[in-house]
């Protein structure tokens, strides 16, 4: 296993888990979230609507619809309602939680975008360093960071 940085479309990646860069209301209207919804199907939004809200620093899980994954992990990076954004420390903390969930649920691979580096404005290199740091503690998990 290990860590890979790859160029491509996250919706085309075959992984047990695909991470969605979400908002706290789980409304998948733009960016990576919209791409995942368009390819995965409306079931993803329907399941997200049932969840309703996820705080920054936490995550939610839905099925993957038509994607080549078992599950989608939705990590909110922005809270439009309260005008808040994920911090670097929150990003590290939530990735530890998600990778731990993967291990506990026998997921072998995870594909994620560079969370928070779009509209939220986190620095790409710093986000990469956080992912590298967390991935080191989960050697049995194949981690794919997907950039367009």
E strands in 24-116: 60-63, 71-79, 84-85, 109-112
Phi and psi based region of residue 19 (left: phi greater than 0; alpha: psi -120 to 50; beta: remaining): beta
Per residue of the chain (148 residues), give pLDDT as tens.
Answer: 689 999 999 999 999 999 999 999 999 999 899 999 999 999 999 999 999 999 999 999 999 999 999 999 999 999 999 999 999 999 999 999 999 999 999 999 999 999 999 989 999 999 999 999 999 999 999 999 999 8
β pairing state of 3-7 and 142-147:
parallel
Q: Convert the pLDDT of each residue in 132-143 to its tens digit.
A: 999 999 999 999
pLDDT score for 6: 96
Look-up: residue for tokens 């936490």?
Answer: 58
Residues 6+ apart with CB under 8 A from 16: 69, 70, 71, 102, 107, 108, 109, 110
Q: Convert the pLDDT of each residue in 110-120 to its tens digit.
A: 999 999 999 89
Residues 6+ apart with CB under 8 A from 50: none
Domains in the chain and their CATH numbers? 3-147 (3.40.220.10)
Residues 6+ apart with CB under 8 A from 143: 1, 2, 3, 4, 99, 109, 110, 112, 131, 135
Quick check: pTM over 0.85? yes
E strands in 39-117: 60-63, 71-79, 84-85, 109-112
pLDDT score for 1: 62
């Amino acid at each position: 296993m290990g860590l890979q940085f790859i160029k491509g479309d996250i919706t085309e990646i075959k992984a047990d888990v695909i991470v969605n860069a979400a908002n706290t209301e789980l409304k998948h209207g733009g960016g990576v979230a919209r791409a995942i919804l368009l390819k995965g199907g409306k079931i993803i939004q329907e399941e997200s609507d049932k969840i309703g809200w996820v705080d920054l620093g936490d995550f939610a899980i839905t099925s993957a619809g038509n994607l080549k994954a078992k599950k989608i992990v939705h990590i909110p990076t922005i809270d439009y309602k309260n005008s808040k954004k994920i911090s670097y420390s929150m990003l590290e903390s939530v990735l530890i939680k998600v990778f731990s969930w993967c291990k506990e649920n026998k997921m072998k691979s995870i594909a994620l975008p560079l969370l928070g580096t779009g509209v939220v404005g986190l620095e790409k290199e710093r986000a990469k360093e956080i992912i590298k740091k967390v991935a080191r503690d989960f050697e049995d998990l194949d981690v794919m960071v997907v950039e367009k």
